[in-house]
Amino acid sequence: MNPKFEYKPFSVVWLLQIHPHDEAEKRVLQNEHHQEKACKYYRCALSIAIIIALLLCVLASQLLLFPFLFVTSQTITETVLNKDIRCDDQCRFVLVESIPEGLVYDANSTINPSIFKSWLNILTNAKSSVDIASFYWTLTNEDTQTQEPSAHQGELILEELLKLKQRGVTLRVAVNPPNSPLRSRDISALKDSGADVRVVDLPKLTDGVLHTKFWVVDNEHFYIGSANMDWRSLTQVKELGATIYNCSCLAQDLKKIFEAYWILGLPNATLPSPWPVNYSTPYNKDTPMQVNLNSTASEVYLSSSPPPLLAAGRTDDLQSIINIIDDAKQFVYISVMDYSPTVEFSHPLRYWPDIDNHLRKAIYERNVHVCLLISCWQSSRPSMFTFLRSLAALYSNKSNYNIEVKIFVVPATEAQKKIPYARVNHNKYMVTDRVAYIGTSNWSGNYFIHTAGSALVVNQTQSAGTSDTIQMQLQAVFERDWNSNYSLAFNALSSWKEKCIF
């Protein structure tokens, strides 16, 4: 996977070719010398002896040097590889959330900084570049044809983005093709402000959408998570993400994913196969980056989907999820908007048990405690609840099959219910007793086969005993939601419709 492995065979070939060549030249020179001065017999014999000795030396040195240099080059390669995987940055990791207005937790509940403040912070401090991968843009009331005071935060973010060019900061935006003129307004404004915008026709390229949501700022800081470039994602939809500061190694690795979208945004772009080597990464589930996050030694990598967008070395997002589920020893807590073992929108219909099988396996083989916190709103599909009931039915206290499913319902006033596509838990993360996973995809087949998404995986098991790990913070978020009165036990619902359709 690592291109640096490749110079090993080259160095061996180089040694084999150059040394005999040098000796041949020496011999030619010596021959000329002998022809000039007619040599005496003993001198000739001496010369021949020297030449033979030299030839033997070359042969012996090659025999001796060959294994020696082979070992040395291998050691060098390993050193380079280890150095590659270690990163000296002192990264700051902040878990960030949008909690919809009117959703109130008990006193003393876990509270994280808001996505809005974190976006504003990285934008106002941006010095040279901002790169944004996005699904769609509706940051203003006009875009959604609403008059909501809570659109203010989104409008402020757009204002800051429009000011970047004047400040000498380049802004690049990769976006899925807008499906309505209302969703083109912010994009036009950005273009007018001097931003580079590329529409990535993923529907044409992979039959999916560009669903990824992340920012890379100054090649050093980044945000990744569930929030769209939508004012509702800041005040009306429940979102979770991570903002990482002072972390150039990871930011540059995320930028490689961005560059892949960027090149696919060129007119008439086609999918490269394979991807050029400069898109490849040494960081993946098998060789994660070793870096300090908030002074805690961590193993981190970024996964991506769908497979046709992956360069060498990148872990496929689905494989990352499966790997984390298989690695769990005690529990797997999942908070996703949609969960379904199907490929939606496929004709003919297609069953897709890839994730479901690994959850059932963890429950059956290792008695891992699996909790699913799923969302429910007017756009939820009925089949999702049928499959959730099937998973929840595996529960058996007697056999120690420990699976629970809950539905998280974001409360809404009559006025809030009128805001289109809002008031829902849009989180997309998983936390196990070992690992934190923060993603951008719903958990159903379509998202891993066709749609572009990405995720950040943080493993701090090597720092066990540390007081405040990312895994612990994410677990606290899950437990806060799971135990809140907004989560309803699935088995207790007589009909999901009674709670979800409003």
Ligand X SMILES: *[C@@H]1O[C@H](CO)[C@@H](O)[C@H](O)[C@H]1NC(C)=O
- The DSSP secondary structure of 370-435, one letter per residue, reads EEEEEE--TT--HHHHHHHHHHHTT-BTTTTB-EEEEEE-----HHHHTSTT-SSB--EEEEESSE
Among 35, 147, 270, 397, binds ligand X (CB under 6 A): 397
Pick the catalytic residue from 238, 426, 450, 481.
426
Letter string b/e over residues 395-412, b meaning 16 or more CB atoms within 10 A of that residue's CB: eeeeeebbbbbbbbbbeb
Q: Does 92 bind ligand X (CB under 6 A)?
A: yes
Q: Does 104 bind ligand X (CB under 6 A)?
A: yes
Instruction: Tell me which residues in 232-271 interact with ligand X (CB under 6 A).
Output: 245-246, 256, 259, 267-268
DSSP summary character for residue 284? S
4 noted as active-site residue? no
Q: Does 498 bind ligand X (CB under 6 A)?
A: no
Strand partners, 405: 372
Among 72, 462, 483, 491, binds ligand X (CB under 6 A): 462
The whole-angstrom distance between residue 193's C-alpha and the CA centroid of its chain comes to 29
Q: Which is nearer to ligand X, 74 or 125 (CB)?
A: 125
Pick the catalytic residue from 218, 326, 327, 354.
218
433 noted as active-site residue? yes
**Least distance from ligand X to the Cβ atom of residue 325, Å:** 9
Distances (CA, A) of 219 to 58, 131, 179, 206, 245: 50, 9, 31, 28, 10
d(CA 173, CA 165): 13
d(CA 453, CA 309): 10
Site string for ligand X, 322-351 (x = CB under 6 A): -xx--x---------xx-----x-------
426 noted as active-site residue? yes
Q: Does 386 bind ligand X (CB under 6 A)?
A: no
d(CA 391, CA 187): 42
Cβ-based neighbour number of residue 449 at 10 Å: 20
d(CA 319, CA 192): 41
Instruction: Tell me which residues in 181-200 interact with ligand X (CB under 6 A).
Output: none
**Least distance from ligand X to the Cβ atom of residue 474, Å:** 9
**Least distance from ligand X to the Cβ atom of residue 470, Å:** 5
3-state class (DSSP) for residue 294: coil
Site string for ligand X, 403-442 (x = CB under 6 A): --------x----------------------xx------x
* Alpha carbon distance, N-terminus to C-terminus of the chain: 51
Q: Does 378 bind ligand X (CB under 6 A)?
A: no
Active site residues: 211, 213, 218, 426, 428, 433
Residues found near ligand X in the complex (CB under 6 A): 92-94, 104, 106-108, 245-246, 256, 259, 267-268, 276, 278-279, 285, 294, 299, 323-324, 327, 337-338, 344, 379, 397, 411, 434-435, 442, 444, 459, 461-462, 468, 470, 473, 485-486
